[in-house]
Structure formats: structure tokens, C-alpha cells
Amino acid sequence: MTILAVILFCLATVALAVYGVHLYVLLWLVHRRGDQRGRIQRQTIEAFVASTPDEDWPIVTTQIPLYNEMNVAERVIEAVAAMDYPPGRHEVQVLDDSTDGTGRVVDRVAERLRSRGLDVQVVRRTDREGFKAGALAAGLAQARGELVAIFDSDFVPPPDFLRQAVPLLVCDEGIACVQGRWAHLNPRETWLTRAQALGIDGHFGVEQGARCWNGLLMNFNGTAGIWRRKAIEDPAVGGWTGDTITEDLDLSYRAQLAGWRFDYCKEIACPAEIPGDIHAFKTQQRRWATGSMQVARKLLPRVWRSDLSLVQKIEATFHLTHYSVALWMLLLLLTAQPMLSIWLEHPRMSQWFWIAWVWILGSTFAPSVLYTYARYSLGGGWSGLKVMPLLMTLGMGICANNALAMLRGLFVSGGEFVRTPKSGSTSHQRGHTAYAATQSHLWIVELSLGFYALTSSAYYFAADQWASCNFLLIYAIGFFAVGLASRPRRPAARDGQAIRQEPLVDVSPA
């Protein structure tokens, strides 16, 4: 057991240090190219708008995939239909797989918009085969646009989205997709939304720009972006597929492996609702963690066999395996207490032991620096510093949920696309939803890990190791916060059914 604890502790230490250094590299990359790329994009957009008459703008189809989204369906359809674009050249396509009253809302809104002369089509299927990927593919087969924008139900696109995004695609035939930035409709609703908003800002304020503007592989985020239809239908790409539950990441990498390029425009901000419920957030994180690892398992061998540069291959590996950080965090916690006992019994190991903890603490600062810089670069000043403790608490507390989901992605292909319930919350009004996210018994494990972390912190306190003691205390706070928030609630309706309790790990076949 001693050897196993040492091995796992060393693996976790090295992995977390490496991923921490990777964040510093991304910071340097985005700082190096951000301003220059932004100026070029603005010039491209302004020149195209000034020189192109309305009749020469390409036809665009905007797809809105829906599945039981009664709270937000009308809002997103109205917002998409209100986008500024030349008359007759914008088709709105609502891909409605709903099994509840959402269909009636969709039909009513679509009919009202059609009566105003807008092109709004509703596409329905007899089943949910392929889930979101299947719906997008079915809609594409009927679409008339040469460019395809996509918005999930929790988004409210700005009126000028197409006027800004289309020129970036049209002016460069090699670009397959332009991704916009996610902004926030309800960032101050709860401590949970405050933390998530900062985390999202880190991705769109640093990570996407660092990859895109330096020739590295990036991803379409599933919404708030616009595709060249030719790229999706390219035989070398293969179109939308449902063999992973992150169809957006999968298609993004297949397109780039086929030679297409992506662009990211930080200035195209698309507000979206952030999950204000811990179970909805966990559902979303499980889908992203599982899907990312499924794509890594599916496409990393192709990445390393491709003609991409070594730097591109390494960054793609970091990108697709990022959710493994949750596993390394969990292993670090579980081995911290045994490692202290080993050190006390074998003082000669103390030098290497404390070097390891220095690496860990150094890598811990990397997310703080990245998220603070991202919020600052997006015009939020130094507010990231105030929110960072909340994000650290959430990050520690969610690592068991994400580690289990990531492990599932390593061994299980496909699976059900479990959508994140929406409430319709905005900065002015807190929404309420009849939908409830699936609950699980993981809260028991999270509270147990909280007690374990607290005990480990006490051991380090007794050994006068203050820095490590405080680090483990953050684990305890995180697991207690997430575990207590995840306790069972009174059964409520979930798409017409009672909430079901899930096992800790779903190992059902795809």
C-alpha cells in the first residue's frame, strides 16, 4: 500500500503541475496575439459590410435544437428571428424533438413570426435517434442556407450576430466555423452562477483565443457559432455523428483534421443562461467530461498519425484530456494523508515530499491567474479576484462528479444526450422551471470526501504544515458545499415523470 500511495501521489503531482504550466502557456499565447487578431477581424467585418449589397449576402439557416424547453423556447426563437440580416436570406429552423407542451409553444411562435413575413420552419422527427447531432443532421438535409448558425435554447443572440460573423466566413474560404463568445444572462443569480460565469470567461477570454489565434486546434462550443455547410458535408469530415455525446467537439476536430480552419471572435458576445441549480450544473459537467474523453479516445490516435505539427498534437492532447484534471485532484486528496504518514516514518523522503507540494501549490495559482486575466480582458476589471474563491470551491467540490464522468468516457461510447434544464433566468428576473435535473446519490460520497479532507487538513495542521493544511481545507469546503447543495429534494416533475435516482456510475452500454 505504501508503494501504491507514493506512485499515485507522484502521478497526481506531476499531472497537476503539467496542466498548471499548460495554463500559463495559454495565457502567454492569448496575450501575444489577441489585440492583433481583434483588429484584423474588425477591419474584415467593416470592409465587407461597407462593400457588399444586401442581395450579395449568402443565405443563412439558423438552427435551434429543442427538447422539452418550454421555459425558454419562445425567447430563443424570437431572438433568432430578430437578428438583422437581408430580407429573404435568413431561414430560421426550429428542430423540435420535444415530447411535452413545448411543441405547442413552438408552433404558436412560428405561426406568429411567419405572419410577419419571416421564414421560420419547424422540423420534427419521429424519434431522438442521434439526439442533438441527429436533429442537426435532419435539419441540415432540409436547410436552404449555405451557412448554418446554431443556437441552443438557453441563448439570446444579439441582433448583429450574423452581420458580424458572416463576413469572417465569407472572406476566407478555408474557414469552416466562426465561434462567438458566451456572455451571461444571470451571472449574479447565486454563488453557483457567479463561479460558473468566471469559469466560462476563462474559456472564452483565454483558452479559445490562445488556440485559434496561434494555429492550434480549437472547438466549436455547440452553440453561438456559424458553420460553412460545405465543411460539415465534406466527405473527409463526415457530418454530424452521435457516437459521442459532445457532437460539437467531435465534428470540430474531424473538420480540422480534414484541413479546415476555425476562427474565434471574442467581440461577438452571445448572452446565455447559466445553470442556477447544482443538479443541472452537474448534468452539464457530466456530459462535457464524458463526451470530451469519448472524443479523445476516438480521435487522438488520428491526431497523432496526422500531418499536424508536434505543438498542435501536444495542445490537442491537453485540450481533449483536460477533464482528467478532476481525477488527478481526487487522487491527490486521497493520497495526501497516507503520504504525510509515510513522510513522518521516513524523514529522508521529506525533501522530495515538500518539492512535490511546492509544485502542487504552484500549479494551483495557474487557474487563478488565468481566470482573473480573462475577466479583466473582457472588461470586468479585477472582479475575478473576488469571485475566484467561489470558483475554487466549486472546482474542488465537483471533481468527484467529473472524475467519474471522465472515466465513463474512457470506456463507454455514445450514450444519452441529457440536456441541461433551463429556467429562463436573466439578470433582472429569476426564472422557475417545471423541469428538474436528474439527481444521484453522489452527494453521500461528496460529504464523505469532505470529512476525509477535513481530517487530512487536521493531520497537516498537527504536523505544522500550514500551506498544505489550508490547501486541503479548500477541498473540505468544496465537497461540503457541493454535497450539501446536492442533497435529495422532494420529487418533482421531470418531463412528466418523477425524478429518478441514478447510481454513482452509469456503465450501461451505449
Mean pLDDT score of the chain: 90
Report the pLDDT value the prediction gives residue 345, as an integer from 0 to 100. Answer: 73
Model confidence at 468, pLDDT cuts 50, 70, 90, reads confident
Return the exposure string of 119-144: e unless at least 16 CB atoms fall within 10 Å of the residue's CB, then b: bbbbbeeeebebbbbbbbbbbbeebe
CA distance readout (Å), 487 to 423, 442, 445: 20, 9, 11
Report the pLDDT value the prediction gives residue 342, as an integer from 0 to 100. Answer: 78
Q: Which three cell numbers stand for residue 311?
A: 505543438
- Residue whose C-alpha is closest to residue 240's, from 143, 333, 100: 143
Q: Which three cell numbers stand for residue 119?
A: 421564414
The verdict on whether 464 is a catalytic residue reads no
Cell 453561438 sits on residue: 224
If you count them, how many residues does the chain have? 510
CA distance readout (Å), 497 to 225, 435, 436, 453, 506: 33, 9, 10, 37, 20
Report the pLDDT value the prediction gives residue 340, as an integer from 0 to 100. Answer: 82
Surface-to-core class of residue 8, CB atoms within 10 Å of its CB (0-12 exposed, 13-18 middle, 19+ buried): middle
CB 102 within 8 A of CB 96: yes
> Does position 493 have pLDDT exceeding 80, yes or no?
no
Report the pLDDT value the prediction gives residue 437, as an integer from 0 to 100. Answer: 65
What digits encode the pLDDT tens for the residues 120-178? Answer: 999 999 888 999 999 999 999 999 999 999 999 999 999 999 999 999 999 999 999 99
Higher pLDDT, 79 or 362: 79
Phi and psi at 481, nearest 5°, equal -65, -50
Report the pLDDT value the prediction gives residue 423, as an integer from 0 to 100. Answer: 61
Q: What is the 3-state secondary structure (H, E, C) of 440-474?
A: ECHHHHHHHHHHHHHHHHHHHHHCCCHHHHHHHHH
pLDDT over 70 percentage in the chain: 90
CB 60 within 8 A of CB 147: yes
Q: Name the pairing type of β-strands 225-228 and 175-184.
A: antiparallel
> Does position 446 have pLDDT exceeding 50, yes or no?
yes
- Residue whose C-alpha is closest to residue 414's, from 239, 267, 255, 295: 295
Model confidence at 422, pLDDT cuts 50, 70, 90, reads low
Q: What is the 3-state secondary structure (H, E, C) of 160-211?
A: CHHHHHHHHHHCCCCEEEEEEEEEECCCCCCHHHHHHHHHHHHHHHHHHHHH
Report the pLDDT value the prediction gives residue 503, as an integer from 0 to 100. Answer: 37
CB 394 within 8 A of CB 475: no
CB 296 within 8 A of CB 338: no
CA distance readout (Å), 338 to 4, 208, 342: 10, 39, 6
Return the exposure string of 369-394: e unless at least 16 CB atoms fall within 10 Å of the residue's CB, then b: bbbbbbbbbbebeeebeebbebbbbb
238: left (phi over 0), alpha (psi -120 to 50) or beta: left
Q: Which three cell numbers stand for residue 243?
A: 457516437
Q: Name the pairing type of β-strands 225-228 and 147-150.
A: antiparallel
> Does position 369 have pLDDT exceeding 70, yes or no?
yes
Annotated catalytic residue within 152, 154, 248, 277: 248
Annotated catalytic residue within 96, 97, 201, 263: 97
Question: What is the pTM (predicted TM-score) of this model?
Answer: 0.91
What digits encode the pLDDT tens for the residues 70-110? Answer: 989 999 999 999 999 999 999 999 999 999 999 999 999 99
Amino acid at 485: A
Report the pLDDT value the prediction gives residue 292, as an integer from 0 to 100. Answer: 97
> From CA 476, how far away is CA 481, in angstroms rounded?
8
Surface-to-core class of residue 286, CB atoms within 10 Å of its CB (0-12 exposed, 13-18 middle, 19+ buried): buried
CA distance readout (Å), 171 to 47, 100, 166, 227: 10, 42, 9, 14
Phi and psi at 497, nearest 5°, equal -130, 160
In this prediction, residues 430-450 reach a mean pLDDT of 80
The verdict on whether 119 is a catalytic residue reads no
Q: What is the 3-state secondary structure (H, E, C) of 395-412?
A: HHHCHHHHHHHHHHHHHC
> Does position 510 have pLDDT exceeding 60, yes or no?
no
Four-CA torsion 362, 365, 367, 371, nearest 10 degrees: -150
> From CA 255, how far away is CA 279, in angstroms rounded?
33
> Does position 431 have pLDDT exceeding 80, yes or no?
no
What digits encode the pLDDT tens for the residues 13-54? Answer: 889 989 999 999 999 999 988 778 889 999 999 999 999 999
> From CA 163, how far away is CA 252, in angstroms rounded?
23
* Residue-range domains of the chain with CATH: 20-277 (3.90.550.10), 322-502 (no CATH)
Q: Is the CA virtual torsion 276, 148, 270, 261 positive or negative?
A: positive
What digits encode the pLDDT tens for the residues 306-347? Answer: 999 999 999 999 999 999 999 999 999 999 999 888 777 766
CA distance readout (Å), 214 to 197, 310, 312: 25, 14, 10
Amino acid at 188: R
Report the pLDDT value the prediction gives residue 454, as an integer from 0 to 100. Answer: 97
Report the pLDDT value the prediction gives residue 505, as an integer from 0 to 100. Answer: 34
Instruction: Give 229's strand partners.
Output: none
